[in-house]
Amino acid sequence: MNPDAYREMAQSEERHWWFTGRRSVLQALISRLKLPRDAAILELGCGTGGNLTMLAGFGRVSALESDATARAIAIEKTAGRFDIRAGRCPHEIPFERQSFDLVCLFDVLEHIEEDVATLQAVAGLLAPGGRAVITVPAHRWLWSAHDEFLHHKRRYSSAELRRKIGAAGLRIAKLSYFNTLLFPFAAMVRVKDRLLHRQRASGTGIPAPPVNRVFHAVFSAERFLVGRLRLPFGISLVAVLGSA
């Protein structure tokens, strides 16, 4: 990912409605997985570390991050409390002799050329009864300058993600779109940016505080839905996986 994107992420992920709303939804989803006490947790592609403290509420957290800038920010931000290692999916994961009750890839898979091989690597990291939680951006027609800026390889349909999960030998426990309530607004903005040939996507900065609070409240309200209902559309997809 573009180093500037990591710096922007580090500045915004504690306050921007998209990051805070997604954390709220994922925290609620993970809380329903009935992980063992003091679960072993691994986040692949932790970026600048914005999810690590949330994950620490469920167990002992380790992480992998390929980008040196992002990794340094994550270590500094979390005061060295977590085992954050250099590495790269799918072939340079320095935890191959360990197993985990929960493996997370939050908007990571779309950055990786070998996505099926990465999912296969995830399968090999799961302890018996372990779970993986992954999120990815949805709908190819939503491709925009923001995807280019973030060096995405693809956006996924539900059918494509389901097929690749199966090819990796993983079992789907839950698969749903999410960020559904704000979908009409986001879709309109993405389409407008594409029609206007904008080089930088609209809405990436933190909006005015009242707007940011409203968007956070709307997005985070999906914590009551995701994992309980299969939402039919959304800006993103989330899957809970287990060994086949």
CATH number of the domain residue 114 falls in? 3.40.50.150
Note the pLDDT of residue 2.
62
Helix (H) or strand (E) holding 62: strand 59-64
What pLDDT score does 201 carry? 59
CA-based torsion, 135, 180, 167, 131: positive or negative: positive
Average pLDDT over residues 134-150: 90
Q: Which helix (H) or strand (E) holds 133?
A: strand 126-137
Please report, rounded to a whole number, the percentage of residues in the chain having pLDDT higher than 70: 94
pLDDT at 3 over 90: no
Q: Over 70: is that where the pLDDT of 123 sits?
A: yes
Indicate the number of domains in the chain.
1
Write out the residue range of the structural domain in which residue 18 sits: 3-243
The residue ranking higher by pLDDT, 149 or 66, is: 66
pLDDT level of residue 12 (50, 70, 90 thresholds): confident
**pLDDT value of residue 230:** 94
By the 8 A CB rule, do 242 and 173 touch?
yes
pLDDT in tens, 29-73: 999 999 999 999 999 999 999 999 999 999 999 999 999 999 999
Cα diameter, the chain: 51
CB 54 within 8 A of CB 106: no
Per-residue pLDDT reduced to its tens digit, 169-226: 999 999 999 999 999 988 888 777 777 766 665 556 789 999 999 999 999 999 999 9
pLDDT at residue 149, rounded to an integer? 81
